[in-house]
A and B are shown apart, each in its own frame.
Chain A
């Protein structure tokens, strides 16, 4: 603990300070005026992205706080992803919050704090700090899920999320304790060094600890059988919050997942790989079959998010190896798609109502061609049909699985993608091929939300046609974990 170079922490600190500024601005704004929360948040997030880019160029790269917080290529890549997702979400939020009359300053502050937690989650190389980051992220999100105080569903969602989340934190912490007991350290580097030499009984304990960590992460990424909370929570939470739960949490949790497994527990890879393969298979099947039966769009996207956790986990079986970069790329693609899909729903909201059922989007293709086209792009990308980032992403995920010898996972993955085509296309069918019966006139898309959606569409099509640079960055990031 000789040096305390705070430069690696700079992005997270900037976001945290922005959060405090937003709270203060809210407190000091007269009641009849609106605090410039969204603008401040956006500025803060962009500034933090700038700082990340500076660090990437070698200015302050490295570890801090006694080596427990790393700003390596892996962390920085995910920093940019998370900050970018956060920025797009800030663009999408104002109009939705106004439409649902939930426009409160806390929203942005909580959002920024949850981003701080996510940044920490992908950077921490020490299990206790990792746990703290996990809780910062989760607690902020619990509160955000319940922000829509007038809607009972939102309350239910917050409570459910909180209870299951706290429960999973317990599992996670117990896993940390066991690993500490075996190796005498909570630092991932030390654990990796000491585990191979440990006695057999210690190894067994380490396996139990690993399993408990998997349960904790499984809850966060909503993998089967720890996915039960997802549909209700996704449906009940305010739509923009749901978007961030799907996009941001997944990016951060998979980042932490990868780091813990690859930096801390590589010696147990032969044990956790098959376990993850089984979970991935189950997750893909349950998620996709569940989504088939949904008529509520948010619920459908919730199950689809479960399914996508499964696709992502197939590549964990090929980690270390080509799986890591595949996962990193897919997190970008998936994040953009989810923000976009939920963003469409939220940006059409008006007078406390938003399109939720298939009937609500009927005839959208004729009445709102641009919006319908954007949603079609997102759905196509979710299905994994070219030309979209989703296709390129799935291609690399399944390639990693085949490379690792899990052909059956790749087969299940592609066949489940066909199943998913059915429920994603159903939305397209309603938008383009059914006439609207009495669908309300949805709100015009605000300038900010429009900008956010354009960014998402551009990212998806751009990555679908020319994924080279991002893939290369993901490859470099993956190397940092070795």
Chain B
């Protein structure tokens, strides 16, 4: 039974989508309930998986069936510490997004629910795939429902944003696809299985190219500066549910792709590129924060803050220390929760006022006290105040990256301060002061539905802030294994370089001293 749990996680949403798709168009309520019911079943199932999960480094709940045996493609899925929480995050955010859109999506409800469920299947599929072909299928297939979510239910410039999102992501992905093919040929492999490919060595020069191709695909998804320009458009134009899933889960796929594919497959190249990734990450942190600071539109502000927050994740990954990478994985979860919640808050204001401009609001604390309290809490979590989840993640990343480069850490810390600045400034202008706009005077406070949407997220943000070991316990073994692999690779490469240098000291006339243990 526990063998088929992952397949069930992927297939149940598809099944649900099919059910929803065949309901008559008018039965809006049935469609909503069906989609919600199925997403809750999936969430429950993922919690059961969590309870069965052992905090060890290997793959669990693994299934490996041949699919296209003559081409070495298999249906190979499994879960480890890197993917465990991201799967839970996906199954958790899906019902929340559905609930958040309960009333605000009133057109083509059936299609909306179908796409949300297909999206969920795609997300889970990406996180469980252990075969490159399978991974790519989910990775690309997921674009289609997201494209529709933005394009149909988005705001004014939705079509532009949807097409831009699709083309950007696809451009990155197809390069990765070619890299798969080259890798397959270069290693003389007979399989697309990830573990098998990671064991077969790739010549260092080729590694650089392949890593670059993978890195572009993932950097677009993260998004890392300078590949981030699709993000503000897509996030701002998407409907609330789309923004939540996009920020909460889809952006994580970039970081996850680095950890699951790019680094294990090309450890040498990953180490060589690490300083560059670190620099770009820090540029992203500062740049995203500065741009957030000047946004008049709340949704845009939150969107750019993602660029900044994801910079921290990439810095942690680039550090290649256990602490840094654990922090990165943890920060991916935090960002999913707090930024998802921020988008939900902005969505709730938008539902009431049909504007997202900060200047339209002010003094909401008086008319919507509960909303203001929760909104403030979520902002605190996003700006990494101690006691909230964000603090744990960013702290681990900064500590872990110290040995990597203290200069970058110092610059990145600026980002923490800037985050406090842009978020608190927004909070101040939106929540505090006098009610300046008469239209705001009669706004209703949180409804029960909105409580159910926001409450769990804030609770989780607090819980993850104080009980982080519960989470990192299951992340750490897998991260450790990854870091060890990179380190051993590093030593092997250094040793090989040293041998090569010793072998021909005469040829390279005034021989340089051997580079110390790099």
Contact = CB atoms under 8 A, between A and B. Distances in A.
B467 interface: no
Interface in B8-65: 25
A429 B148 CA distance: 9
Contacts of A402: 178, 181-182, 184-185
A399 B181 contact: yes
A186 to B, nearest CB: 36
7 contacts: A366-B108, A380-B144, A398-B181, A399-B181, A410-B178, A418-B170, A421-B166
Interface of B is mostly: helix
A475 B69 CA distance: 13
Task: Name, among B108, B141, B143, the residue most crowded by chain A CB atoms within 10 Å (CB to CB).
Answer: B141
B178 A414 contact: yes
B178 A407 contact: yes
B118 to A, nearest CB: 10
A174 to B, nearest CB: 39
A475 B175 CA distance: 27
Contact of B170 (A403, A421, A434): A421
Nearest to B158: A433
Nearest to A401: B181
Contact of A417 (B71, B138, B141, B174): B174
Contacts of B69: 468
B103 interface: no
B181 to A, nearest CB: 4
Given A407-B178, A414-B178, 11 more contacts: A369-B25, A385-B141, A386-B140, A387-B141, A410-B178, A414-B177, A418-B174, A421-B170, A429-B159, A468-B69, A471-B70
Contact of B181 (A410, A422, A425): A410
B140 A422 contact: no
B68 A386 contact: no
Interface in A398-418: 398-399, 402-403, 407, 410-411, 414-415, 417-418
Interface string A238-252: 000000000000000
Contacts of A467: 68
Interface string B121-163: 0000000000001001110110110011001100000110011
Contacts of B70: 468, 471-472, 475
A291 to B, nearest CB: 15
Interface residues of A, number: 33
Contacts of B184: 399, 402
B177 A387 contact: no
B167 A422 contact: yes
B171 A418 contact: yes
Task: Name, among A398, A399, A411, A475, the residue most crowded by chain B CB atoms within 10 Å (CB to CB).
Answer: A399
Given A421-B166, A429-B151, A432-B152, A395 B177 contact: yes
Contacts of A407: 178, 182
Interface string A357-369: 0000000011001
Contacts of A395: 133, 177
Nearest to A373: B21
B143 A385 contact: yes
B159 A433 contact: yes
B170 A386 contact: no
A472 B73 CA distance: 14
Given A387-B141, A425-B166, A467-B68, A432 B148 contact: yes
Interface string A367-408: 001000000000010000111000100010011001100010
B67 interface: yes
Interface string A132-174: 0000000000000000000000000000000000000000000
A116 B45 CA distance: 56
A386 B141 contact: yes
A421 to B, nearest CB: 6
Contacts of B148: 432
B170 to A, nearest CB: 5
A374 to B, nearest CB: 13
Contacts of A403: 185
A471 B137 contact: no
A403 B140 CA distance: 23
